[in-house]
Amino acid sequence: MEFNIAVLGGDGIGPEVTDQGVRVLEAVGRAFGHNFNLSYGDIGGISIDKHGIPLIDHTIELLDTNDAVLFGAVGGPKWDAPDAKVRPEQGLLAMRAHMGVFANIRPVKVYPQLAESSVLKPEVIDGVDMVVVRELTGGLYYAEPRGRRETPNGIIAEDTMRYTEGEIERVLRVGFELARGRRKKLTSVDKANVLECSRLWRTVAARLGEEYSDIELEHVLVDACAMQLIQRPASFDVIVSENTFGDILSDEASVLAASMGLLPSASLTGVPVAGQRSGGLYEPIHGTAPDIAGRGIANPTGSILSVAMMVRYSLGLTEEGAAIELAVDRVLGQNARTADIALPGAGHVSTKEMGDLIVAAIEKAG
């Protein structure tokens, strides 16, 4: 089959890890007989440098005309001044909004091969297998008013958290549906003891909980959830929360998996269905890691596993997605370790070597 994919590497380690994701995609093409037409575009800081703004019309056209989007990361110290007028992150937020991808799905699982690389005790992380569903196009990241202004009493900065019932319901539904295909447990995270938005969130979650009576629903306050993620991580199945809480909790959850460099994500416009075709945005959850950018040592696994999610949820290629995940599993089993997951004193492979090994494992299986 033939597919069109937009590739937006972005900044920092974004392009180098995305390159390996693309190589894995091409390996899948060879092994399973598919053709991927790749169209490259700019986003973020590189786009600011080249065009003055973080998201240009050409890139927006790529979002509109391809079957899926593979994205790296944006941002970096070069564009980070607090008073900067244009920021790389605005490009990412505008892209998410343009695509309408309100459900950001971040699976977190612990590879037994990497138990020793985690900062947490093996018995605590044993059996961790959860999905964080983060609301992605609402809340503090988008609502108005926002901004900074001078007043007689000094400068005021403000952001607004606002959610409609509809925005809450649709992302919670994604969580409930995912839970149905898993261990049937949903943790709805809020701050209902303080925030109005969270009280609406909890009301909607409770109402849906009656509809999804086969799913065990728990409401957990976000601060308690932060603690429980470390204390009893294996007890979580699907976690759903609003944009900012989900951003923070998913970084925390990534620590369970030894390194955030391993973790993929899919941003979708509805419930993911393996085997069907529907647009989506796929990105590793890590950022641009400016400290290691260009050194060829970043872990490309997050991007590669994002490609697995992409072929499964946007291209309808279930078997191919599984083949990529199996290849990652095998390569970790062969003790290949990038710097982020290497044990102290042990050697490590480069970004490209990790890509080579995963490509080879796919070719062998195919």
Q: Would you name the residues annotated as active-site residues?
A: 141, 191, 223, 247, 251
Instruction: Specify the 3-state DSSP secondary structure of 37.
Output: strand
Rounded-to-integer distance, Cα 250 and Cα 264, Å = 11
**Of the two residues 92 and 323, which places its CB atom closer to ligand IPM in the complex?**
92
Applying CB under 5 A, which part among 62-70, 186-194, 240-248, 261-269 lies near Mn ion?
Answer: 240-248
242 binds Mn ion (CB under 5 A): no
x/- string (CB under 6 A) for ligand IPM, residues 284-313? -x-x--------------------------
Q: How far is CA 91 from CA 43, 102, 220, 260, in A?
A: 6, 16, 32, 22
Find the DSSP H helices in the chain.
14-32, 45-51, 57-65, 88-99, 122-125, 165-180, 196-211, 222-231, 243-256, 301-313, 318-333, 351-365
Distance in Å, CB of 311 to ligand IPM, minimum: 21
Q: How far is CA 55 from CA 7, 70, 74, 91, 95, in A?
A: 14, 15, 11, 5, 8
Which position among 42, 247, 320, 340 is part of the footprint of ligand IPM (CB under 6 A)? Answer: 247
- Closest CB to ligand IPM: residue number: 89
Distance in Å, CB of 143 to Mn ion, minimum: 18
Number of residues that bind ligand IPM (CB under 6 A): 6
252 binds ligand IPM (CB under 6 A): no
- Closest CB to Mn ion: residue number: 247
Rounded-to-integer distance, Cα 69 and Cα 17, Å = 15
Which position among 247, 283, 320, 340 is part of the footprint of Mn ion (CB under 5 A)? Answer: 247
Rounded-to-integer distance, Cα 292 and Cα 298, Å = 7
Q: What contacts 105, CB < 8 A, 6 or more positions away?
A: 131, 132, 133, 134, 174, 178, 265, 266, 267, 268, 272, 309
x/- string (CB under 6 A) for ligand IPM, residues 70-109? -----x-------------x--x-----------------
**Of the two residues 247 and 283, which places its CB atom closer to Mn ion in the complex?**
247
Interface contacts to Mn ion, rule CB under 5 A:
247
Query: Contact residues for ligand IPM (CB under 6 A)?
Result: 75, 89, 92, 247, 285, 287
